[in-house]
Amino acid sequence: MKKYLWLAPVMLLAAACKPETDNTASLSATPTEIEFAATGGAAQTIAVTAKNVAWDYSVPESTGAWITAEKRDGGLSVMAADNMSKDGRTGQIRIFAENNDKVPAISITLRQAGNADAPDLYLTVEPASLTFEGEGAAPQEVKVTPSVETLAWSAAAEDDAAAWITVEEGNGTFTVSVQDNPEESRRTGRIIVTPSEPSAEAKAVIVVQEGKIVPPSLTVTPTDPLAWEYDDLNQAYLTVTAVNCTWTAKAVDEEGKATDWISLTPDKNDTQLNVRPATRNTTASSRSGYIIISVDAESVDEVRIAASQTAAPDHFSTFNNDIDLNTLGFSWARSNLNPRYPDDLFLYPWSSWEINILSDGVNFNPNTGKFDGTGHKLSFNIITDRKELNDEMNYVIPDGDYIVGPAKPAPEDPDDLATSDPFTILQGRKTSSFWAPYQGFWYMALTDGATDGDMAPIITGTVTITKQADGNTLYRFDFDLTDDMNNRITGTYEGSIGLYVNGVQIPE
């Protein structure tokens, strides 16, 4: 026991005499600010003292454009390029400990004086714009000339243009290549030539690439033959697609000569062709021809579509002799007048009177707008100047001779056979309309409202209308007419005419 007690003080004394070890990491640098002359400045050294840590440095991109730094024993050697600008400039170098975030980094401030004798700095690019074909375009070269040899530059496509423009820098030039343009429309981009000195202005080269060339073509749908009944004036619609060319259309007969029985009307966008017979076929022979659509490109074939219209029946009249209207028992009449309102004047500068003269057995059904019963009906439309209420609050049909004839084309739409001059009556015609197959001037015999009896379209003639002095609604009608079988239809009706204006009875 005594032996161990003696050794303990000795061991404690030995431990107390062991020297201490300092493991603290630190980093310092001097100087922290360096001044450079505008030109010809020598390299300067930054002394770096690192204790228990390795160190490194970094130069920001903006500073690296004119500062060169090199790590050497005991510090950092720093060199400034000649300042070609009248303005001074400032930069920084950062010295930091490697893998030790606890040691603060050191910032070194670098200043360089402006150059009082600095030359003008600028770049010249030639050419300032380039144009490429849409496909298979060869590369083109741009020459860059700096005002001084020491002025460096770089070139790069700007923004989205970098996706299709490639720039390859050379010695005093750069070469521009473009990818094939996948679109038909042209595209534009820019290449920015940036000088190494901020005081010099950057230059832009405009790059234009044409759209890809699509060969001309013509497509028409449908191309099936077009066929109309003799009285069918309905339009057929052809969709026309012309690519990189302009199309035109014409109608020809079987011999290739121009024909006018087919009406062709392109739409305002030249994407559709409206086709229909110009008139109903009134002849006993069918007619045929072709619609030819062609373009102004020799490599594209024309499109030829057959068209035909059946022959007209010999006649619509069921009579083989003249007709005396006085024997048919006409006893009452009604009329409809449009328009009623003054603001309709823009659309309807005239007045149209729909007149029906009827025998006792025929009645008007207001629920259906049709005539029921069995008897005789004489229906026609007379055209007058626009009529308004007179001082006695009545509408009056002007006296005079009204001539039967065809409708005239509307001024704003030559294909719309819907107008006529005052003191005329639209002649009778058969249409393909399910709702109104008999339009214009017709005589018809009705059987229980059906129009399957005797009938005659009035084609020519005169109706003389005379207002009687002893009443606001009393008129005399003298008829001297001809149907489509050249039968004369004559007679007189004298009596009151019920007036309805837009469906309202006048006087109410």
Per-residue pLDDT of the chain (508 residues; tens, 9 = 90+): 344 444 444 444 444 445 556 689 999 999 999 999 988 889 999 999 999 999 999 999 888 888 999 998 889 999 998 887 888 899 999 999 998 989 999 999 999 998 887 788 899 999 999 999 999 999 999 999 999 888 899 999 999 999 999 999 999 999 999 999 999 899 999 999 999 888 889 999 999 999 998 899 999 999 999 999 987 889 999 999 999 899 999 999 999 999 999 999 999 888 999 999 998 787 779 999 999 999 999 999 999 999 999 998 778 898 888 999 999 999 999 998 876 555 555 566 778 899 999 999 999 998 888 899 999 999 999 999 888 777 777 888 999 999 999 877 666 666 655 667 899 999 998 877 778 889 999 999 999 988 878 999 999 999 999 999 876 789 999 999 999 888 999 999 999 899 888 778 877 6
Q: Which residues are CB-contacts of 451 (< 8 A; sequence separation ≥ 6)?
A: 438, 444
Rg, the chain, Cα only: 50
Element (H, E) at 64: helix 61-64
Cβ atoms 359, 328 nearer than 8 A:
yes
Domains and CATH numbers, the chain: 26-112 (2.60.40.10), 123-209 (2.60.40.10), 217-309 (2.60.40.10), 323-506 (no CATH)
| Residue 484 Ramachandran class (φ > 0 left, ψ -120 to 50 alpha, else beta) | alpha
CA distance 213 to 94: 56
CA-to-CA separations, 55 to 29, 34, 40, 77, 257, in angstroms, rounded:
11, 20, 30, 15, 97
Provide the whole-model pTM.
Answer: 0.42
Which residues are registered as beta bridge partners of 499? 335, 506
Q: Which residues share a beta bridge with 465? A: 400, 477
**Structure token digits, residue 10:** 């000795």
Backbone angles phi, psi at 49, to 5 degrees: -115, 120
Task: Yes or no: say if 419 and 352 are a contact pair by the CB < 8 Å rule.
Answer: no
Please say whether the beta carbons of 303 and 220 come within 8 A.
yes
Query: What CA–CA distance (Å, rounded) separates 185 from 120?
Result: 41
Closest CA to 89 of 44, 39, 47: 39
